[in-house]
């Protein structure tokens, strides 16, 4: 696979392509043109061809893209074949919802454990996963060489717990707290889900329409 500089915007679009290709595949579609894919995604065909060309050639002029083949190449680019291990820190409502509803295996991830500081939640079983006490978190992460920690705790302790996780050796933090996490010089990847940023973008577009 050709390695070249890939813009943030392209990377952000890849999961959307993947979702659409899964949909098409489930509907029995075998091939799709950049024109039709563009129409379904609200993108121009040339944007789509340009995005895919960053990674080398996926399609054949005039024949369209092979849905399953394209899906598998995008999945590989996204690291879905890396079998990353995940632990969840904080089993409150958001954490529990992720355990129950988020299909980790579908995207190639293994959710190994969930840790919680509130004693009344420790030992509770959700979707087959028993919530563990946070006191064993560090030892567990080290023993299992955990790749990714999901941070779904209160904002106040976010940086402190992130520092602990980095110390334990995680390589990435998926941050659901409203805090900005500073990974310092560690090189740990931080990916944020800031709910407020999304709502404010919505608010902007709504205000633009009614300006």
Contact residues for its own copies (CB under 8 A)?
3, 9, 11-12, 14-16, 18-20, 77-80, 82, 84, 92-94, 96-98, 100-103, 107-109, 147-148, 171-172, 174, 178, 180, 187, 189, 191-207, 209-211
CA 82 to CA 74: how far, in whole Å?
13
- Shortest spacing between CB 60 and its own copies, in angstroms: 25
- Looking at the Cβ atoms of 45 and 108, the one nearer to its own copies is 108
CA 100 to CA 95: how far, in whole Å?
9
- Looking at the Cβ atoms of 44 and 135, the one nearer to its own copies is 44
- Shortest spacing between CB 176 and its own copies, in angstroms: 9
The H-assigned helical ranges of 78-188 are 93-101, 137-144, 158-168
CA 176 to CA 191: how far, in whole Å?
9
Pairing mode of beta strands 172-175, 129-133: unpaired
- Looking at the Cβ atoms of 119 and 209, the one nearer to its own copies is 209
- Shortest spacing between CB 147 and its own copies, in angstroms: 7
- Looking at the Cβ atoms of 31 and 194, the one nearer to its own copies is 194
- Shortest spacing between CB 92 and its own copies, in angstroms: 7
- CA 205 from centroid of its chain's CA atoms: 25
- Looking at the Cβ atoms of 136 and 202, the one nearer to its own copies is 202
Pairing mode of beta strands 65-66, 31-32: antiparallel
With CA atoms as reference, report the closest residue to 1 among 59, 61, 77. Answer: 77
DSSP type of residue 60: B
- Shortest spacing between CB 145 and its own copies, in angstroms: 12
Residue 184 and residue 165 in contact, taking contact as beta carbons nearer than 8 Å:
no
- Shortest spacing between CB 125 and its own copies, in angstroms: 15
Reduced to 3 states, what is the DSSP secondary structure of residue 154?
coil
- Looking at the Cβ atoms of 52 and 109, the one nearer to its own copies is 109
């Amino acid at each position: 696979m050709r390695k070249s500089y890939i813009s943030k915007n392209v990377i952000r679009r890849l999961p959307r392509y993947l979702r659409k290709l899964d949909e098409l595949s489930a509907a029995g579609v075998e091939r799709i043109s950049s024109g039709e894919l563009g129409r379904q995604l609200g993108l121009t065909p040339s944007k789509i061809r340009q995005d895919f060309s960053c990674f080398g050639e996926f399609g054949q002029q005039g024949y369209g893209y092979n849905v399953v083949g394209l899906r598998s190449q995008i999945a590989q680019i996204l690291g879905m074949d890396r079998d990353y291990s995940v632990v969840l820190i904080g089993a409150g409502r958001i954490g529990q919802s992720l355990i129950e509803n988020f299909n980790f295996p579908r995207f190639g991830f293994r959710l190994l454990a969930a840790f919680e500081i509130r004693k009344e939640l420790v030992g509770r079983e959700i979707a087959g996963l028993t919530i563990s006490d946070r006191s064993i978190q560090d030892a567990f992460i080290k023993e299992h060489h955990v790749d990714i920690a999901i941070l779904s705790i209160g904002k106040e302790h976010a940086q402190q717990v992130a520092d602990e996780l980095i110390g334990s050796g995680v390589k990435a933090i998926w941050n659901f707290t409203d805090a900005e996490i500073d990974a310092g010089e560690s090189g740990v990847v931080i990916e944020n889900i800031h709910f407020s940023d999304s709502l404010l973008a919505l608010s902007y577009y709504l205000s633009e329409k009614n300006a």
